[in-house]
Amino acid sequence: MDHRTFKTEINEQFARIAKAIANPHRLELVDLLAQGERSVEELATEAVLSIANASQHLQALREAHLVAARKEGLRVYYRLADASVYHLIQLLREIAERQLAEVERIVNTYLTERKAMEPVTLNELMTRLREPGLIILDVRPALEYTQGHIAGARSMPIDELQQRLHELPRDQEIVAYCRGAYCVFADEAVELLTTQGYQARRMQQGYPDWQLALLPTETE
């Protein structure tokens, strides 16, 4: 066996994966698809991209077999090819957090209120999942809640929260969660709830992290 040829060819395949996700827009698209299946149009809107640009990025991810697609009428829907794809994104973030000081600087610049918020870890929430005095609030868009959510969680999208505060009892603790560690929906929810006199905390990670950990989930 030609060991040099083998090493070169196998590393070329690994590099395909790295090349496919080496783009901030593609990382965001993978993050969105970790919440559930989406059409190209929906992904373009969420990521603030043109449909043509979103399609190009999705095609690059598809060529590396990181996402899969299906057609329904005139629309094309994408999903993650495997749960391990999101695990790759988790690892990238963990390495960046440890090795790049710029990550902490950006977080401290834009998420200024987060330091004052005591987070809830996945393990802590799991141990308290059936606690009668705890409300778990999913503040992602309703479609994402429908496709999958933490068992027992209530759906209250962040853009509806202000108008629906009356639905929440003031004598119970609330844990809000959203798409992931760098999603700001849960931060905004906790800030709003605490200013209105509620006892609220944010989950440290997001629904895809909970799902990847094989913790209890439900779908509508």
Active site amino acids: 178
Distance linking the first and last C-alpha atoms of the chain: 53
**CA distance readout (Å), 65 to 80, 104, 162, 195:** 9, 31, 41, 45
| DSSP calls for 77-138 | EEEES-HHHHHHHHHHHHHHHHH-HHHHHHHHHH-TTGGGSPEE-HHHHHHTTT-TTEEEEE
How far does Cα 141 stand from its chain's mean position? 12
